[in-house]
């Protein structure tokens, strides 16, 4: 095979790769910038041809790691980066960047890029879109508690009132936020989630860029208390500066905002901007009547999307799933169903054998821990100090659970000071 055919073959293989590939020589001239790389960077083939590739690499996206590898001749492995591409999409990648050395001579550097945007999204917002806009009609809400949440959220959307969503991780606050966005009477152009547990400079830059645009946006600041107080003050300044725009703002926190303000984790001014309507999204253990309908909805979507046959839940599985407390809330339940769904073939009924072993182990461990407090036979006896220690641990954890981890409310219910409760809890850590 002559050189021209070999070059054509290599070009074809590179263009078809599912990984982004970028290669530059020692002078920084682009040798390879394949189709997947162009997709990740948000540039069309025409834009790529029109704009010098070097400007794309060394300009907007500052992929300086390539040049670092050329300077040091040392590879950079598993480099994670989150950025906004030319289409305004948030992208997260993992890269391996290696020096290109032939016969001892450094010729350039090659970067292999893997797109992990969806995995990252699932980590923080695992409740899937199922290929459709996430409206209130998609949300499973059988319990009175969730019906009340949606009722208040609809009213907030009707009046375009800023909303603060309060709830544990995985309860579905992101679903409620997007549902509000789609229920707005005067529609906004974009729904933008700001995941505040990430690099806060990236979060602020994204907000600042979008808030200046002519398009009307709905911003959802997810777990805003993870931002530093300085970053929160910058958000307040941005909101005040562009208050004439028709943007709409929703924020979420993981616990009582008053406690967060007291601990210095939430700006009181920022809280007041969102406190016109505060919506408490209950934990799944507080609305277990939503569990089985959610599973039914999940499998219906699974059948529609993947052609599976599963329709039913065995009675012992129903009992098992309802007995579990779901500390990870709706997120944990859906990830469980994802694991089950990935192994489905022709099954029509969800059987106990199909559940992951670790879930059964967690529930069995919880049952054993609770049963250990009951003394019925001589062999159940143990030293009094040990037994009282176990009783106290169980009682405090149960009280915290009933008050959704709120230290102040739990302490008040137990007749303790906040400091005393915290001291007692430290004995078990």
Of 333, 351, 371, which one is at a domain's C-terminal end?
Answer: 371
Asked if residue 270 lies in contact with residue 232, where contact means CB atoms within 8 angstroms, the answer is: yes
Cβ atoms within 10 Å of 285's Cβ, excluding its own: 16
Q: Which of 256, 282, 308 is the last residue of a domain?
A: 282
User: What integer pLDDT is reported at residue 61 of this predicted model?
Assistant: 40
CA distance 60 to 86: 8
Assign residue 384 the CATH number of its domain: 1.10.10
Same domain, 190 and 262: yes
Based on the fold, state whether residues 278 and 311 are members of the same structural domain: no
Regarding whether 339 and 406 lie in a shared domain, the answer is: no
**Do 253 and 392 fall into the same domain?**
no
What are 74-83's contacts with CB under 8 Å, separation 24+?
A: 74/99, 75/99, 80/116, 82/120, 82/198, 82/199, 82/202, 83/202
Does residue 208 share a domain with residue 258?
A: yes
Residue 112 sits in the same domain as residue 138 = no
> 40 and 146 share a domain?
no
Residue 118: the pLDDT is: 65
Domain containing residue 65: CATH number:
3.30.450.20
Output DSSP code: residue 132.
S
Return the pLDDT at 379.
Answer: 61
Query: Nearest-CA neighbor of 100 among 120, 74, 129, 63?
Result: 74
To 5 degrees, how large is the angle CA 5–CA 6–CA 9?
A: 85
Q: Are residues 252 and 293 in the same domain?
A: no
Per-residue pLDDT of the chain (429 residues; tens, 9 = 90+): 677 788 888 888 888 888 999 988 888 888 888 999 988 888 887 777 766 554 554 444 445 788 889 889 999 988 877 777 777 677 888 889 999 999 989 999 999 998 877 665 555 555 555 556 788 988 989 999 999 999 999 999 999 999 999 999 889 999 999 999 999 999 999 999 998 887 788 889 889 888 888 788 999 999 999 999 999 999 999 888 887 778 999 999 999 999 999 999 999 999 988 778 999 999 999 999 999 999 999 999 888 888 889 999 999 999 989 988 888 899 889 888 988 888 888 899 999 888 887 777 766 665 555 555 555 556 656 676 666 776 777 778 778 877 767 788 888 888 888 777 877 776 665
How far apart CA 413 and CA 286 sit, in angstroms, is 18
Q: How far apart are CA 168 and CA 172, in angstroms?
A: 9
The pTM assigned to this predicted structure is 0.64
Domain boundary among 99, 116, 133: 116
Count CB neighbours of 192 within 10 A. 19
* Whole-number pLDDT of residue 121: 57
Sort strands 90-102 and 217-222 into parallel, antiparallel or unpaired.
Answer: unpaired
- The domain of 386 spans 378-426
Question: Which CATH number covers residue 183?
Answer: 3.40.50.300
Q: Quick one: 278 and 290 in the same domain? A: no
Query: For the residues of 199-229, what is the DSSP string, one character each?
Result: -HHHHHHHHHHHHTSSS-EEEEEETGGGS-H
DSSP 88: S
Residue partners of 313: CB distance under 8 A and separation at least 6: 292, 295, 296, 321, 349, 350
Q: What CATH number has the domain bearing residue 321?
A: 1.10.8.60
Q: In what order do the strands lie in the sheet with 277-280?
A: 190-195, 217-222, 248-253, 163-166, 277-280
Residues 235 and 146 in one domain: yes
Give yes or no: residues 349 and 402 share one domain. no
Same domain, 278 and 298: no
Q: What domain count does the chain have?
A: 4
């Amino acid at each position: 095979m002559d050189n021209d055919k070999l070059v054509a073959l290599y070009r074809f293989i590179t263009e078809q790769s599912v990984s982004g590939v970028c290669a530059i020589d020692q002078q920084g001239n682009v040798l390879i910038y394949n189709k997947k790389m162009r997709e990740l960077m948000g540039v069309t083939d025409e834009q790529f041809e029109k704009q010098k590739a070097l400007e794309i690499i060394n300009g907007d996206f500052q992929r300086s790691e390539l040049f670092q590898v050329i300077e040091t001749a040392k590879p950079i492995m598993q480099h994670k980066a989150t950025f906004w591409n030319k289409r305004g999409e948030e992208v997260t990648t993992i890269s391996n960047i290696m020096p290109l050395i032939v016969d001892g001579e450094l010729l350039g550097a090659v970067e292999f890029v893997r797109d992990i945007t969806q995995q990252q999204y699932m980590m923080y917002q695992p409740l899937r879109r199922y290929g459709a806009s996430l409206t209130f009609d998609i949300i499973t809400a059988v319990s009175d508690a969730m019906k009340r949440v949606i009722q208040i959220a609809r009213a907030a959307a009707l009046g375009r009132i800023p909303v603060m969503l309060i709830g544990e991780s995985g309860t579905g606050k992101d679903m409620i936020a997007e549902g509000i966005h789609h229920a707005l009477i005067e529609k906004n152009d974009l729904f933008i989630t700001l995941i505040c547990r990430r690099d806060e400079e990236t979060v602020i830059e994204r907000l600042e860029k979008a808030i200046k645009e002519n398009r009307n946006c709905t911003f959802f600041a997810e777990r805003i208390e993870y931002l530093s107080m300085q970053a929160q003050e910058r958000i307040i300044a941005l909101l005040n500066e562009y208050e004439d725009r028709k943007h709409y703002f929703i924020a979420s926190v993981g616990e009582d905002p008053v406690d967060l303000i007291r601990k210095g984790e939430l700006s009181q001014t920022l809280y007041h901007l969102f406190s016109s309507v505060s919506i408490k999204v209950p934990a799944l253990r507080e609305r277990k009547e939503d569990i089985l309908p959610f599973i039914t909805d999940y499998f219906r979507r699974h059948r529609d999307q993947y052609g599976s046959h599963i329709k039913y839940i065995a009675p012992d599985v129903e009992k098992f799933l309802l007995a579990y407390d779901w500390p990870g809330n709706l997120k944990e339940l859906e990830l469980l169903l994802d694991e089950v769904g990935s192994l489905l073939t022709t099954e029509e009924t969800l059987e106990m054998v199909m559940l992951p072993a670790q879930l059964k182990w967690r529930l069995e461990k919880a049952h054993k821990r609770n049963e250990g407090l009951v003394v019925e036979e001589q062999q159940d006896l143990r030293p009094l100090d040990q037994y009282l220690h176990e009783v106290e641990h169980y009682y405090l954890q149960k009280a915290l659970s009933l008050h959704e981890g709120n230290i102040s409310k739990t302490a008040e219910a137990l007749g303790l000071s906040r400091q005393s409760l915290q001291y007692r809890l430290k004995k078990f850590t």
